[in-house]
Amino acid sequence: MPKTSLNRRTFLRATALAGGGFMLGLYPKAAALAQAGRGAAPALLPANFISIASNGLVTIASKNPETGQHALNMLPMLIAEELDVDWKDVKIVRAGVDNKYGSQFTGGSIATPSNWEPMRQVGGAARQMLIAAAAQTWGVAAMECSTASGRVVHRATNRSLGYGELASTAATMPVPDFRSLKLKDPKDYKIIGTTTRDVENKEIITGKPIFGIDVTLPGMLYAVYQKTPVFGGRAVNANLDAVKAMKGVRQAFIVDGKPLPSNFPNYLNDDPGLEAGVAIVADSWWAAQSARAKLEVKWDEGKWGTLNSEDIAKKAGELSRQTPARTLRKDGDVEAVYKRSDVKVVESPYTFPFIAHAPLEPQNCTAHFKDGKLEIWSTTQTPQIGRTILSRVFGIPEKDITIHMVRGGGGFGRRLYNDYMCEAAWISKTVGAPVKLLWTREDDMQHDYYRAGGFQYLKGAVDKDGKLIAWQDHFIGYGEGETFTHSGQIDGNEFPSRFVPNFLMQSTVMPLGLKTGALRAPRSNVYSWVFQSFIDELAHAAGKDPLQFRLELLGNAPPKGTQGVMDAERMIGVVKLAAEKSGWGRRTLPKGTALGTGFHYSHRGYFAEVAEVTVSADKKIKVNKVWVAGDIGSQIINPGASENLTQGAVIDGISEMLQEISLKNGRVVQSNFHDHPMLRMSQAPPVEVHFLKSDNTPTGLGEPALPPILPAIANAIFSATGERIRTLPITKHGFSFA
C-alpha cells in the first residue's frame, strides 16, 4: 500500500454539468476543515478534474504548477489510465488555484509520490460511475461490464456505449468509496509507461504567449523594482521627482517593506513578505527600466552592509579549530579509532559557495488590485502558499485573492518563494491599475534565495582491511542558535550515518544577512559532492577500487528498519547497474582519461552515476560521457520526459560546479550569466539513462538524479590528475570545462 496520506483525507463528489458532461472532483477534506477552523469555511464547490463531452472528448484538469518538469502531462496520465481512455482523446487544461484540487505545489519531487494513488483513484472512480451508468441503461449487473478505450462493454450481449453517451447518466451515479476501487494491474497499463509529449509543445515552438512574462491585461502598466541591495535594508530617500519626469514614467515611490507577522518565520525559514525598495511604474517596461538608470537612492543598509565572503571564510576557518557548537549524532567513539596504530586517518576540508537558481525566465508577476480584491498571474511553484502570504501582507481574506497559474520558464526552487508576487500586488494597489512587474536578470541573480554555501571539515579512518570504521564531520553553516538558515541545515542521518560504527556529526553556525532557500535537490546537491568525494579519498587510502569500496560500505547496512529512510539494497542495485553500463573496471582508458562515480539518495530516489572525463595539461575538463542508473520505483510514468529530465539534471549539476555567489559589503557580486555561468551545448556530454524498476511505489524525478554527478566528475578528475577538488567552484582549483 503506497504511503499517501492524501488518500485518507479525500472523498469524491460528482456534479451534473449542463451540456451532458459530468464533473468529478477530489476534495481535500482536511484542508477544508482547517480552513473552517480559521473561520473561513469555503463552500465545497465541485471540482473538475474530469469532464466528458457528449462527443467523447475527455478534458482533464492538471492541478500543479508547470515549470518544465512535465507535471502538466503526468498527473492527467494517471487519471486517464484508470479512466481507461485513449490518450489521443484527452485534452489537458490547467486547473485554477482552488483548495478543491488538494495540494497544488511544485517542489520536493513530490508530484508523483503524493499523486500516484489519488489521481489514479479519481480516474478509477469515474470509470466505475460510467460502468454503473451503462449497467443501469442496459439493465445488467455492473460486474458483467468492462471498459476499453473510452467505452463500456457488455460482452454477453455484445453491446457497448461510449463514455460521451454515458456521461450525463454517470454524473447521477453515487461516487464509489476510493478504498473499494479495483485499480488496473500494471501489466494492463496503456498510458503509464508510454511517452507522451508535453501538451504545450506546439505553443512553445510557435512562440505563443504562454509564460508569466507574456501576460498582458487591458490598461496594464509596467514596473521595475529596485530592491534593497543589502538584506534587511530600506530606502531612506531617492530622487523620485527626477525619475518621474522621465518619459513614459507614471509613478515612482519608495516601498518600506512589510515583514510578515511573527507567526510566519523570518528569513531563516521562509518568505520574508514584502521587501523594501523603490518602484518605478511606466507606460512600457523599457521606459521604466530606462528611468531606473537615473535613479539614485540613499539606503539604510541595516546591520549587514559590511558582510564579505572573505570574512565569512576566515571566520569558518577559526570556528573549525574550536569545539563545535552542537553534536547532531554520535555513534561509538571516533577519537578512540584515530589513536589506534592499525588505522589510516584522512582529514579534509570541503568548501562550497552560495549559488543562484537563475531560471531563464526572470521573476515576474502581473497583479491587479481592485476594490479590495487581488488577481494575480504568476509562475509561482506555491500558489496556495502565495495566496496565504498575500492575504497576510494585504490584510484581505484568501477568498478575495485569485491566482492564475502560468507556465514558468524554469523553477528549480526559486519560484517556491513569492516575493515578486507581493511586490507586483503592492505596486498595483499603489497605482490603482493592473501592473506587470518584471525583474531584470541582475535583479534575479542579486535577490535570490541562494543555495546555502558552507564548510565541512571531514575526518575518517579505514582499518587494515580497508574497511571504513570512523567518520566525522564538523559542518559550519549559517543560522542562529539551533536554527539553520532555510535549506541550509544538516542532520545526523546523512550517509554514511548508521553504516559506520564510529560516527560523529557536529555543527556550528554563523549569522548571515542573505536569504537562502531550496535549490533543486536542496542540501543533497552539494552534500553529495562532499560525502562522496570524501568516501573516494577513504577508498584510495584503503587501496581499494572506489566503486567496490562503496559496495562494501553499503553492505555494512544495519538491519532493515534501523537504517533510516535509505534502503541499502536499492542503492546497491543502482551502483551495480551504473558500473555495468559504464564498463567500470573493464575498460582501459588513455592517460588523462578516467572514470569517477558517486551515488546519492534524495527525494525518495536512488541514483548512482559514472562520469568519464579527459583532463588536458592546462586543466581543461572534457566530460566525455555520463551513465546514470536510477531507481524511482515500479513505473517510469513518462519515459521520454524522464530521460529528458534526468539528462537535464546531470547538465544542471555540472553547471553548479562552475557557479559561485559571493558577497562584498553585504551585496551580491555576481549579476548575470557571464559571472554565474551555466554549461553550454558544446560542453554538454552524452548522458545515458537507465532505470532499474523495483517493486516500490513510483516516486519523483525532478531532483534525485542531480546530486551524484558532482562527485562522479570530481572523483574522475582525481583519478585522471591526482588532484582532489575540495573547493567549489572548480575554477578555484584552476579547472574549467572544455
Partner 1 sequence: MIRLKVNGKNHRFNGDPNMPLLWFLRDEIDLKGTKYGCGMGLCGACTVHVNGRPARACLTPVSAAANAAVTTIEGVSPDGSHPVQVAWEELDVPQCGYCQAGQIMSACALLSSKPKPTDADIDTAMNGNLCRCGTYLRVRAAVHKAAELTAANRTRPAKPAAKASSARTTRNGGNK
Site for partner 1 in 512-571 (CB under 8 A): none
Q: Work out whether the CA dihedral 355, 360, 362, 363 comes out positive or negative.
A: negative
The DSSP bridge pattern shows strands 145-148 and 90-94 to be: unpaired
Least separation in angstroms between CB 644 and partner 1:
6
Cα 311–chain centre separation: 31
Binding-site member from 90, 223, 274, 538 for partner 1 (CB under 8 A): 90
Query: Is 200 a binder of partner 1 (CB under 8 A)?
Result: yes
Stretch 681-700 residues interacting with partner 1 (CB under 8 A) = 681-682, 684, 686-687
What is the contact mask toward partner 1 in residues 288 to 327, using x (rule: CB under 8 A)?
A: --x-------------------------------------
Looking from the CA of 17 toward its CB, the CA atoms found within 13 Å total: 22
Binding-site member from 214, 463, 580, 723 for partner 1 (CB under 8 A): 214
What cell was used for 722?
A: 591526482
Burial class from Cβ neighbours inside 10 Å (0-12, 13-18, 19+) for residue 543 reads: exposed
Cα 732–chain centre separation: 28
Binding-site member from 49, 163, 350, 412 for partner 1 (CB under 8 A): 412
Query: Is 188 a binder of partner 1 (CB under 8 A)?
Result: no
Binding-site member from 11, 138, 211, 264 for partner 1 (CB under 8 A): 211
Query: Is 285 a binder of partner 1 (CB under 8 A)?
Result: yes
Q: Are 211 and 365 in contact (CB under 8 A)?
A: no
Q: How far is CA 566 from CA 161, 305, 579, 699, in A?
A: 48, 42, 20, 14
Report the distance separating Cα 451 and Cα 526, nearest Å. 9
Query: Is 123 a binder of partner 1 (CB under 8 A)?
Result: no
Least separation in angstroms between CB 200 and partner 1:
7
The residue count for binding partner 1 (CB under 8 A) is: 75
Least separation in angstroms between CB 609 and partner 1:
14
Please report, as a single letter, which amino acid is at residue 261.
Answer: P
Binding-site member from 111, 122, 135, 213 for partner 1 (CB under 8 A): 213
A 10 A CB-CB count for 185 gives: 7
Q: Give the contacts of 27 (CB within 8 A, at least 6 positions apart).
A: 10, 11, 12, 13, 44, 47, 100, 102
Binding-site member from 51, 647, 670, 699 for partner 1 (CB under 8 A): 647
Closest by CA to 196, choosing from 73, 315, 284, 80, is 73
Which residue stretch of 298-306, 321-329, 405-413, 456-464 sits at the interface with partner 1 (rule: CB under 8 A)?
Answer: 405-413
For partner 1, give the closer residue by CB, 53 or 510: 53
Report the distance separating Cα 373 and Cα 362, nearest Å. 26
Report the distance separating Cα 158 and Cα 151, nearest Å. 12
Stretch 419-478 residues interacting with partner 1 (CB under 8 A) = 438, 440-441
Least separation in angstroms between CB 732 and partner 1:
22
The dihedral region occupied by 156, where left means phi > 0, alpha psi between -120 and 50, and beta the remainder, is: alpha
Query: Is 109 a binder of partner 1 (CB under 8 A)?
Result: no
What is the contact mask toward partner 1 in residues 342 to 371, using x (rule: CB under 8 A)?
A: ----------------xxxxx---------
Least separation in angstroms between CB 580 and partner 1:
22
What is the contact mask toward partner 1 in residues 145 to 184, using x (rule: CB under 8 A)?
A: ----------------------------------------
Report the distance separating Cα 279 and Cα 334, nearest Å. 56
Stretch 38-57 residues interacting with partner 1 (CB under 8 A) = 57
The DSSP bridge pattern shows strands 502-510 and 468-480 to be: parallel
For partner 1, give the closer residue by CB, 357 or 368: 357
Residues forming a β-bridge with 326 = 507
Query: Is 411 a binder of partner 1 (CB under 8 A)?
Result: yes
Stretch 231-260 residues interacting with partner 1 (CB under 8 A) = 247
